Amino acid sequence: MNILLIMADQFAAHALARSRSTDAHFKTPNLDRLASVSTVFTQAYTPFPLCVPARSSMITGKYPHQLGIMNNKSADAAPRSEPGHGSQSLGHWFTAAGYDCAYAGKWHALQASASVNDGFAPIHPFGDEGLVEACHDWLGQRSGERPFLLVASFDDPHTICEYARSQPMPYGDVPAAAVAEAPPLPANFYKAPYASEAPAMEQVAAARLYGTAGFSPDDWRSYRATYAALVQRVDQRIGQLLDGIDVASTSVIFVSDHGDGDASHGWNQKTALYQECIKVPFLVQVPGRPAAVVTEPVAAVLGLLPTLCEIAGIQVPEGLAAPSALQRDGNPVVVETAFADAAALPGARTSGRALILGHWKYTVYGWGQYREQLHDLAADPQEQRNLAVENAFAPELERMRTELLRWCEETGDTAFRKRLVLPKTAPAGKHQEIFRVPY
pLDDT by residue for the chain (439 residues), tens digit each? 999 999 999 999 999 975 555 678 999 999 999 999 999 999 999 999 999 999 999 999 999 999 999 998 765 544 444 444 677 899 999 999 999 999 999 999 989 999 999 999 999 999 999 999 999 999 999 987 899 999 999 999 999 999 999 999 999 999 888 999 999 999 999 999 999 999 999 999 899 999 999 999 999 999 999 999 999 999 999 999 999 998 889 999 999 999 999 999 999 999 999 999 999 999 999 999 999 999 999 999 999 999 999 999 999 999 999 999 999 778 999 999 999 764 444 444 799 999 999 999 999 999 999 999 999 999 999 999 999 999 999 999 999 999 999 999 999 999 999 999 999 999 999 999 999 998 8
pTM: 0.95
Determine the pLDDT at residue 330: 82
Contact (Cβ atoms closer than 8 angstroms) between residue 14 and residue 262: yes
Entry field: residues in the chain = 439
Partners of 151 in beta bridges: 5, 103
Determine the pLDDT at residue 176: 86
Element (DSSP H or E) covering residue 104:
strand 100-105
CA separation, residue 82 to residues 19, 30, 317 (Å): 38, 36, 18
Identify each DSSP E strand in 108-239 by its residue range: 121-124, 148-154
For β-strands 282-285 and 39-41, DSSP reports them as antiparallel
Contact (Cβ atoms closer than 8 angstroms) between residue 374 and residue 387: yes
Distance CA 118, CA 86 (A): 8
Other CB atoms within 10 Å distance of the CB of residue 383: 22
Determine the pLDDT at residue 340: 76
Determine the pLDDT at residue 19: 52
Start-end of CATH 3.30.1120.10 domains in the chain: 336-434
The CATH number that domain 2-329 falls under is 3.40.720.10
Under DSSP, the state recorded for 298 is B
The residues, any chain, with a CB within 8 Å of residue 274's CB and separated by 6 or more, are: 199, 261, 264, 265, 267, 383
Of 77, 58, 226, 205, nearest to 158 (Cα)? 226
**Torsion angle, CA of 403/407/409/413, rounded to 10 degrees?**
-130
Determine the pLDDT at residue 247: 87
Q: Is 286 helix (H, G, I), strand (E, B) or coil?
A: coil
Determine the pLDDT at residue 328: 76
Of 52, 14, 93, 54, nearest to 305 (Cα)? 93
Contact (Cβ atoms closer than 8 angstroms) between residue 47 and residue 307: no
- From the options 3.40.228.10, 3.40.190.10, 3.40.50.620, 3.30.1120.10, give the CATH code of 336-434: 3.30.1120.10
For β-strands 39-41 and 292-294, DSSP reports them as parallel
Of 59, 40, 109, nearest to 286 (Cα)? 40
Query: How deeply is 4 buried, as exposed, middle or buried, from its count of CB atoms within 10 A (0-12, 13-18, 19+)?
Result: buried
Distance CA 223, CA 9 (A): 17
Start-end of CATH 3.40.720.10 domains in the chain: 2-329
Q: What single-letter amino acid sits at 313?
A: G
Distance CA 53, CA 70 (A): 6
